[in-house]
Structure 1
């Protein structure tokens, strides 16, 4: 708790320094429209040149996407908006432990993939890098403290040094002890982004850098679920686990010692440079202000991308029985595995904008060369790829139509024959009926490399008989702001689906099967009471080595109102539940979820949490009492022999300010 009080003191000190800013309405653009639990977002200024001097205008863009977005300041979703782990993810323990999406989502991307995804939900990537525009320096602080020494720290900052240059920095720390042995985590995530535009607006540069450091304790699950009903093991740390039982562990915020763990390091550096040919005009705003506007007609774009991935596992005190039973080898003194991958890619694209002034309407053709190097404990590989890609996008300026057609083809190299083709049509009908979207994608891809080869200091496994996977997705989706619902219907077709059939053997299903998903989010309101419903229905047809729950749902029911103009309050209960199914097991040495049909996960009660979320101007707090169901029933399970946590208390703080 010492770190919590230090952080609170820091917030108090900063608050005194900035009190005059709040009282003077310096957050003017952020203050409006936050009633009813703060469902709206930070306001976007309609003019970059006529804003009040003390209001905040902040937007951001993603690479390759013409749409501008605003930072979400709503308070009704703790998991997504604050914890940054969507509620449909199931964790094998506390935040920071391996996680999988209960609403199954396959990888729809051709080309090379190392295959280590158990910690993906926490990771930074170039895909979600945000490139900001802000008229004033913006800083956000986050802190979460919970039971079992759980702590999460977040610091974000962005500012425009000039109208043409912006940089942003983001850091996130996850540190947990966990409820069961050897489940402690110590993760660090760094991100830096920047963008620069020349004075004549013809050249643009975007830079993205991230570093992800994972130290995740692994215990292989508890040895028997009967321990949960034994009164001698009310303290869950005393329950024997499969690995990490005798390891000596040290817990601290920045210096935890975890002897049995997965240790991943990912580094990414991307720089994208654009040079435009087009037309520029000087627009007369008033007697003292002129604005230079440049409309590209043709663009040359070069993208350099360097990505390193170091995926390892180490057990300094291995349990012989576990490794003999599950991996068929004697562990010796230490079990260690390590896969190191480096990819360097160079992409050249030519882009044309047929309609002047509409950057959402373009034709993009290009080529990308990839060089890959893999290093293992006793071997190494090198190979390259050449991919051609193209896209036609037409997002009309009236925002009513949005059409996209994309294609990517690997024509030379290790992944020759991989491809992805997709199309999307979106239409805004009207304010009552909202948006409707139709989309389709077909992907042909080489299975992840970990399915073909895995190496440890005790053994190596190969599977050279795998064919390319083929996945098709047909989707209908609708988004309705007025009626407050989102609905999507997904229909997947799988051929040559690749999976792990046990702790170290991969396999492939040659038969065709399909998966139907219906996913709904809806808000119901009655006076000051709200009900947020999230619902997913999933059904598999065919002989499939894939298990999903038929029904998953989350319900947030509570009192939601703005009190005394400045206090946004949402308090109530949250219930999360899914029907019983054969949930995937987990192989800690490989870091992979594996298909099983031996133990069905059937939870008696939903996961129940009581919460009180409130926001006062720029300060937000989340107070939660979680896993209340453990007071009247045995722990629910996330996977075979992986119980979910006992009762937990969590307090999260979020505070943003401008300098």
Structure 2
């Protein structure tokens, strides 16, 4: 707490207008560039690496470009959405339930079955929440060097830091280097988590605009100690006995296990415009025809190790456990793109995908041989189209597999209409088919039960989805998503090998197997957000309703999830600081929450234990001074006077009351 007060005092000494995207002046301020409060300009100066003076530099000149080439700009304001995103993932975690320690898995409260790619993944989905995929990487176009520093305290002996430096050597060549690292010991025994995410990007465009290239490299690892959950949760946790308020005294199942995910990726996307016609002297492009190439090479390793095997996971082939699954993939795409102001943008592509999913041994069991490798290549063709017509925008994408056993089709189509500045509507459809993730198809482990091969008896999963959305400043934001699932694949205890007595005792992990539901599932999700304001007070509400139609209980979700934040916002200290403070209430209805399996790094279905139905209350004080946002939060303070029934998964509690603080700081050069 004393460190926060020191930082708070230092920043409070500055006397600048609060809650404005103000950049430091270079020489003198160009007032003609000021249009809105969030467009405060820089003075006339020189761009880094440029010999020409700039008339003005505004916050909108610091551009952030997504994988889909959508462009936004840097935002240094302090809003309630920034509060929701100030966490380990740096995104709104409304539909997630975190475990007790930072960096551990998240249980899923809400599902979105739409897929971003047509190919199966390695699996270990519970380890991938902090893993940045190719579509998670942003690229930058900045007029001057920019730094972004994110810091937040963790739980015992550790910190969380995400630092990014973005710079250029000319107007057309930009770079960024980022590293996100954290360590947290945790409140419970054998609960330490460490992670590191390194990313470096570059993007370049020639002076004539014909050739563009963007590339990135990423090296990531997530390492987690696995204690197997609480061994005596009723006696030591739920009872509320004083001696166990020190959570390090609670007995856990293991003291010698950990799992980790390691990944490396090299990505390249470049394009050359064979034809480029400009509309007028403004350099607006009227027509272009381009040839392009995209390359992505990635390796992933998932490893579970344990010094001594445990009967909790069944019998084993040897005393020490060291499971390791590897996946190497290489993706190449050749594409042709035609862009026209009247006709829109159309791209045709052909794709080659090579994969090698393998283990280090060949296993012979009583039921037959289990291979140690799935290797092959997939060839597919596809097309993308987008067009904006006045208030309408249309997007579509299709991909169809020509050769290979893993994939099928992927179709995405959406249309949006902007009624006016305050109201917009959007509709989208999605259809896809592909084989389940690799760890459903083939797995090998030193634990005898965790060995299977389902390449011939599993069918392709199929998803059909319809989404409707309405966004209004007056009425709020409403989205509805209806999905139909065929051949839904999941992990669960095999009732054919486990006795009812064992299942009643919660001994699921010794019998976990992949399974596929032959009946169709129907999933409906409706989500609504609206904020009400009265003077300096505001009430922000997000409510989500879900319903599942299924013959067998294989998809478990809470019916209702709600988050409500009552907060106060105001300038203070003669407008030297902008302050927000309030209380957030989060609640989800009771349901049979998925359980966590550390050996696979996956969640599995269980229908014995009903969890949820408890409130989570957080109190926060956030402040903004210049380009710095300061955060202080008392998390789950109602655990002081509530019952100890708050779980993130069976045997895995949610976190107790804790005070955490940190900041986000932007530097402009």
TM-score range, shorter chain: 0.7 to 0.9
What is the match of residue 240 of structure 1? 251
What is the match of residue 267 of structure 1? 264
1:205 has 2:213 as partner: yes
List aligned pairs for 1:434-453, cutoff 5 A.
Answer: 434-453=423-442
1:329 pairs, out of 312, 315, 319, with: 315
What is the match of residue 162 of structure 1? 170
1:466 has 2:472 as partner: no
SS of aligned partner of 1:599: coil
> C-alpha displacement at 1:50, in angstroms?
8.5
Contact 1:42 1:71 survives alignment (8 Å): no
Structure 1 residues 29 and 236 mapped into 2: Cα distance closer, same or farther (>3 Å)? farther
> C-alpha displacement at 1:280, in angstroms?
5.0
Q: Which runs of 5+ in 1 are unaligned?
A: 35-39, 248-259, 285-290
> C-alpha displacement at 1:507, in angstroms?
0.7
> C-alpha displacement at 1:298, in angstroms?
0.6
Contact 2:29 2:41 survives alignment (8 Å): no
What is the match of residue 110 of structure 1? 118
Q: What CA deviation, in whole Å up to 9, does each residue of 1:417-470 have, x standing for no partner?
A: x111121110001124x1100111111111111112211234322334111111
Q: What CA deviation, in whole Å up to 9, does each residue of 1:335-387 have, x standing for no partner?
A: 1211111101110011111327x9xx311111110111122131333211101
What is the match of residue 564 of structure 2? 555
Structure 1 residues 479 and 72 mapped into 2: Cα distance closer, same or farther (>3 Å)? farther
1:586 has 2:586 as partner: no
Question: Using the alignment, how far apart are the partners of 2:561 and 2:33 within structure 1?
Answer: 35
What is the match of residue 483 of structure 1? 474
Question: Using the alignment, how far apart are the partners of 1:29 and 1:215 within structure 2?
Answer: 52
Question: Using the alignment, how far apart are the partners of 2:607 and 2:653 within structure 1?
Answer: 18
Structure 1 stretch displaced more, 85-94 or 218-227: 85-94
SS of aligned partner of 1:629: helix
1:123 pairs, out of 122, 126, 131, with: 131
1:86 pairs, out of 68, 84, 92, with: 92
Structure 1 residues 513 and 43 mapped into 2: Cα distance closer, same or farther (>3 Å)? farther
Q: What CA deviation, in whole Å up to 9, does each residue of 1:457-492 have, x standing for no partner?
A: 343223341111111111101222x32722100101
Q: TM-score by structure 2 length?
A: 0.85
What is the match of residue 446 of structure 2? 457
Structure 1 stretch displaced more, 115-124 or 523-532: 115-124
Structure 1 residues 491 and 621 mapped into 2: Cα distance closer, same or farther (>3 Å)? same
What is the match of residue 368 of structure 2? none
Contact 1:144 1:152 survives alignment (8 Å): yes
Contact 1:146 1:650 survives alignment (8 Å): yes
SS of aligned partner of 1:652: strand
What is the match of residue 391 of structure 1? 384
2:619 pairs, out of 610, 614, 621, with: 610
1:577 has 2:587 as partner: yes
Q: What CA deviation, in whole Å up to 9, does each residue of 1:583-609 have, x standing for no partner?
A: 000111011100010100034x31111
> C-alpha displacement at 1:114, in angstroms?
1.5
Structure 1 residues 51 and 580 mapped into 2: Cα distance closer, same or farther (>3 Å)? farther
1:314 pairs, out of 305, 323, 326, with: 305
What is the match of residue 643 of structure 1? 653
SS of aligned partner of 1:237: helix
1:421 has 2:411 as partner: yes
Question: Using the alignment, how far apart are the partners of 2:30 and 2:219 within structure 1?
Answer: 32
Q: Which runs of 5+ in 2 are unaligned?
A: 16-21, 362-371, 494-508
Structure 1 residues 410 and 611 mapped into 2: Cα distance closer, same or farther (>3 Å)? same
Structure 1 residues 31 and 159 mapped into 2: Cα distance closer, same or farther (>3 Å)? farther
* Number of matched pairs: 610
Question: Using the alignment, how far apart are the partners of 2:133 and 2:544 within structure 1?
Answer: 27
SS of aligned partner of 1:69: strand
Question: Using the alignment, how far apart are the partners of 1:20 and 1:393 within structure 2?
Answer: 35
SS of aligned partner of 1:447: coil
Structure 1 stretch displaced more, 613-622 or 69-78: 69-78
SS of aligned partner of 1:113: coil
2:522 pairs, out of 510, 514, 532, with: 514
Q: What CA deviation, in whole Å up to 9, does each residue of 1:55-76 have, x standing for no partner?
A: 54211222333x3212343342
Question: Using the alignment, how far apart are the partners of 1:353 and 1:321 within structure 2?
Answer: 62
1:345 has 2:355 as partner: no
Contact 1:26 1:55 survives alignment (8 Å): no
Question: Using the alignment, how far apart are the partners of 1:395 and 1:120 within structure 2?
Answer: 35
1:622 has 2:634 as partner: no
What is the match of residue 71 of structure 2? 68
What is the match of residue 402 of structure 1? 393
Contact 2:39 2:58 survives alignment (8 Å): no
Q: What CA deviation, in whole Å up to 9, does each residue of 1:115-143 have, x standing for no partner?
A: 22213221212102212111111111121
Structure 1 residues 29 and 241 mapped into 2: Cα distance closer, same or farther (>3 Å)? farther
What is the match of residue 360 of structure 2? 377
Q: TM-score by structure 1 length?
A: 0.86
SS of aligned partner of 2:72: coil
SS of aligned partner of 1:349: strand
Q: What CA deviation, in whole Å up to 9, does each residue of 1:240-285 have, x standing for no partner?
A: 11222xx4xxxxxxxxxxxx2111111111111100133455976x
Question: Using the alignment, how far apart are the partners of 2:385 and 2:412 within structure 1?
Answer: 11
What is the match of residue 159 of structure 2? 151
What is the match of residue 97 of structure 1? 104
Question: Using the alignment, how far apart are the partners of 1:386 and 1:522 within structure 2?
Answer: 45
SS of aligned partner of 2:125: coil
SS of aligned partner of 2:248: helix
Structure 1 residues 547 and 351 mapped into 2: Cα distance closer, same or farther (>3 Å)? same
1:599 has 2:609 as partner: yes
1:301 pairs, out of 279, 285, 292, with: 292
Structure 1 residues 508 and 29 mapped into 2: Cα distance closer, same or farther (>3 Å)? farther
Structure 1 residues 167 and 178 mapped into 2: Cα distance closer, same or farther (>3 Å)? same
Contact 1:75 1:614 survives alignment (8 Å): no
Contact 1:124 1:191 survives alignment (8 Å): no
1:354 has 2:340 as partner: yes
